[in-house]
Structure formats: C-alpha cells, structure tokens
Amino acid sequence: MSVPYVPSSMKNLDKDGDGVADHLQFAVTNKVESGSASIGVKLQIDGVDFTDRGVMQIGSQKPQKLGPYLYISTNYGDKCVVEVEHGGKIKAGKHKVRMTVSTPVGTFTSEFEDTA
C-alpha cells in the first residue's frame, strides 16, 4: 500500500500569466484502497512545509485544500493531482517532495525528486 509519484508529472506553472512560475503541480496514484475516508495530508517541498498552500484533486472531483482533515472518495488506482501555490518561491530545477498521507488503515509517506 502506498501513494507513489507519477513519474515526470512535476510541472512549475505560471497560473497568473506574469512570466514567473507560481504553482508547482505533480501527481500521485492511490495504491492504498478504494472507498471514502477522512484523511490528513502533509506536504514538504525542499524541506519547506507547503501543506497550507496546497490542494489535491482526485480524478475529476473538486479540488480540496490539504491539511489535517479531508474527506475523500477514491478508487484504487485513481490519479491524484496535487498543486501548490508558491508565489514564485520554487524556482525551475530539481525538487525533493515528501508527502505524508494519514488514513484509517495507516500512514503512508511518498518521497521523490524530479525536475520542474
């Protein structure tokens, strides 16, 4: 059981069109189980906590803010897109991400590096 990173999914996006990347986006896959549950998500990028600036979208569902409490419905294998509004603080290059997901069946941590 895990929430593995989708390789090459990391992107540094300029959402406000000012020429400066301001959102980091990446995807993970639900390899825990299908169902509905209350979960908690913590997110660090390059050692900095960005939990309060992130959202997660499961499939075509409405994005939800990351934090200690999210109520989700998901199927095993669903792609979950995580997006962080960083205001230009995350520059182009290689980044290390640590995402911890607490669920009723256990806590799962995904750590990965990629270039955005």
At residue 3 the predicted structure's pLDDT band, cuts being 50, 70 and 90, is confident
- Give per-residue pLDDT as tens, 28-75: 999 888 999 999 999 999 999 999 999 999 999 999 999 999 999 999
1 pLDDT more than 90: no
The whole-number pLDDT of residue 2 equals: 81
- Mean pLDDT of the region 91-97: 95
Q: How many helices (H) and strands (E) does the chain have?
A: 0, 10
What's 11-115's CATH class?
A: mainly beta
Contact 58, 74 (CB under 8 A): yes
Q: Where are the domains of the chain?
A: 11-115
Distance, in Å, from the CA atom of 37 to the CA atom of 49, rounded to the nearest integer, reads 24
Determine the Cα–Cα distance for residues 56 and 11; give it in Å rounded to an integer: 15
Q: What is the mean pLDDT of the chain?
A: 94
The whole-angstrom separation of Cα 63 and Cα 93 is 26
Average pLDDT of 3-23?
Answer: 93
